[in-house]
Structure 1
Amino acid sequence: MSDVYTLIKGTVPLLISMPHNGQLIPADIAKNMTNKAKAVHDTDWYKDKLYDFAKSLGAYILIPNYSRYVIDLNRDPNGVDLYPGANSTELCPTTAFDLSPLYIEGKTPSQSEITKRIGQYWQPYHDAIQTTLAEIKQQHSRAVLLEAHSILSKVPRFFEGQLPDFNFGTASGKSCSEQLLTHITELDFSPYTMVTNGRFKGGYITRAYGDPANDIHAVQLELSQRTYLDENNFEYLDDMANQVKPKLKNLVQLLISYAQTKE
């Protein structure tokens, strides 16, 4: 057990990680934040609810308790930029997606505070990923990691216009086998739009743990929130969610099938 994350143990060789699903902010950090920051608007809302079917399929599921505003679990701890030349948020973000400040003036985290958060929040989550993938690999000989994300359909800071609905990232083909990516692209996502390795090519977790040469395959899915949310107030819309969930279930079943079948 951990106060940093929740890990649901599975029986099949798939780990679903939801690094931006957490919403908690510790009191000692929140006291230095703006009121808007405390609303954690940039959460990957309801990923656990969207993937609630995955437990019955036997997937391992890893969910953080704390907000990405505390520390972004999908960033390099050394501060390496994942998308050089593009606007992006830091390991410990100081601005929201709309560029509004997250901290009261003069209260942004110091380097020593960032180092503390790495040890307290970032490292335990990554230890859980590493340990779980190793356990899966030992038991099944192949492991698949699905990085489950979502984002508003329009975020001018990061991309122009409207984002496609399903955005798959595999570090431009480096984090999973070509066969797996082909299988994914052959799924029927209609009426939703789909792209691979477009604006989102996979964050730090996908790039760090995807190792197809050793039969560990990582895929990130950035799902447009317009497929299941009222994007104005972050309200979960059951009718819309119930339409997109079968597509997610097909994806998860494919990943499990691939992980269980040696090609």
Structure 2
Amino acid sequence: MNPVEVTRGDGPVVLGLPHTGTWLPEDVRARLNERGRALADTDWHIDRLYAGLLPGVTKVRATFHRYLLDANRDPSGASLYPGQNTTGLVPMTDFDGEAIWDDPPGEVEIEARREAYHAPYHAALSAELERVRARHGVAILYDCHSIRGEIPFLFGGHLPDFNIGTNGGTTCAPAIEAAVQGICAAAPGYSYILNGRFTGGWTTRHYGRPAKGLHAIQMELAQRNYLTEEAPPWAYDEAKAEALRTHLKDILQTLAGLAGTLEGSR
């Protein structure tokens, strides 16, 4: 199994999809417990949700599941959110804080997984961002995520529908942040927050270098807005999804249009 799939486009926007994959090596699957094998923390159907919204977009998708290796974590193992509950480079628990392994991997195996999965995913993502920047003068990375809207282990209360992350405005030009925030704020019936519980994962923080023409923004969507329910079998709800896709399309097309106005663009 190739750990990464790349769909190459000629536009200025690159979609990162680190958590839609469900593939696991059979020996790894066998070492998960029953709870782990349920793969509950997948970003269910996110690739389908964004499909066809922006002509010329480039997509970089991890095919493996985050329980094997989380491609949106610091490869050093450092926490993204010090002092808060979270999961690591190779998660030992699910998002509810419950153990997922009967036979958890040790340090040597975790390092081998980093080399086999994290490194090639980010090599591909980096290469595509550089290709796009060379063509347009800038590249805009839009990192696609989703999560259940209520997870007490990770956050209190009810997660907003749109969760925009720019690491406090450091990972992209102000115009990008403002445009995405404005679209989400104007979306009737939806809630949003900027740099709330999710301020952007390692991918957004690592690649977002606006002064160098590399802009990154993360979108964490509450799954209630496109799934029938936030529970197995994690069914895609066409009506909900189409309503949401209208706003996602607006976001992506706006970002593509902004690219030519950003410093460094050709």
TM-score (norm 2): 0.95
Structure 1 residue 35 displacement after superposition: 2.2
Instruction: Give per-residue Cα distances to partners, 1:171-207, cap 9 Å, x unaligned.
Output: 1111001121112222232221111101100000000
Instruction: Tell me, yes or no, if the aligned pair for 2:164 and 2:193 is still in contact at 8 Å.
Output: yes
**C-alpha separation in 2, matches of 1:73 and 1:11:** 25
**Corresponding residue number in structure 1 for 2:57:** 59
**Corresponding residue number in structure 2 for 1:140:** 136
Equivalent of 2:82, from 81, 84, 105? 84
Name the % identity: 37
Letter in 1 for 2:246: P
Which stretches of structure 1, 4 residues or more, deviate above 6 A after TM superposition? Answer: none
**Corresponding residue number in structure 2 for 1:208:** 206
**Corresponding residue number in structure 2 for 1:50:** 49
Instruction: Tell me, yes or no, if the aligned pair for 2:163 and 2:194 is still in contact at 8 Å.
Output: yes
Letter in 2 for 1:49: R
Three-state SS of the structure 1 residue aligned to 2:122 is: helix
**Corresponding residue number in structure 1 for 2:191:** 193
Structure 1 residue 48 displacement after superposition: 0.7
**Corresponding residue number in structure 2 for 1:244:** 244
**C-alpha separation in 2, matches of 1:24 and 1:262:** 38
Letter in 2 for 1:152: R
**C-alpha separation in 1, matches of 2:188 and 2:113:** 41
**C-alpha separation in 1, matches of 2:124 and 2:260:** 22
Of stretches 133-142 and 179-188 in structure 1, the one that deviates more from structure 2 is 179-188
**C-alpha separation in 1, matches of 2:100 and 2:105:** 11
Instruction: Tell me, yes or no, if the aligned pair for 1:25 and 1:38 is still in contact at 8 Å.
Output: no
Aligned residues: 259
Equivalent of 1:151, from 147, 153, 157? 147
In structure 2, stretches of 5+ residues that fail to align are none
**Corresponding residue number in structure 2 for 1:262:** 262
**C-alpha separation in 2, matches of 1:134 and 1:250:** 25
Q: Following superposition of structure 1 onto structure 2, how do residues 1-263 of structure 1 map, counting pairs within 5 Å? A: 3-54=2-53, 57-104=55-102, 107-187=103-183, 188-229=186-227, 230-233=229-232, 234-262=234-262
Instruction: Tell me, yes or no, if the aligned pair for 1:152 and 1:225 is still in contact at 8 Å.
Output: yes
Letter in 2 for 1:207: R
**C-alpha separation in 1, matches of 2:170 and 2:262:** 19
**C-alpha separation in 1, matches of 2:175 and 2:255:** 11
**C-alpha separation in 2, matches of 1:61 and 1:213:** 23
Instruction: Tell me, yes or no, if the aligned pair for 1:34 and 1:102 is still in contact at 8 Å.
Output: yes
Three-state SS of the structure 2 residue aligned to 1:159 is: coil
Structure 1 residue 249 displacement after superposition: 0.5
Letter in 1 for 2:60: L
**C-alpha separation in 2, matches of 1:185 and 1:20:** 23
Structure 1 residue 81 displacement after superposition: 1.0
Structure 1 residue 39 displacement after superposition: 1.9
**C-alpha separation in 2, matches of 1:113 and 1:141:** 40
TM-score (norm 1): 0.96
Instruction: Tell me, yes or no, if the aligned pair for 2:141 and 2:217 is still in contact at 8 Å.
Output: yes
Structure 1 residue 144 displacement after superposition: 0.1
**C-alpha separation in 2, matches of 1:141 and 1:90:** 34
Letter in 2 for 1:114: I
**C-alpha separation in 2, matches of 1:224 and 1:158:** 14
**C-alpha separation in 2, matches of 1:143 and 1:232:** 36
**CA RMSD between the two structures:** 1.1
**C-alpha separation in 1, matches of 2:95 and 2:182:** 32
Three-state SS of the structure 1 residue aligned to 2:2 is: coil
Structure 1 residue 222 displacement after superposition: 0.2
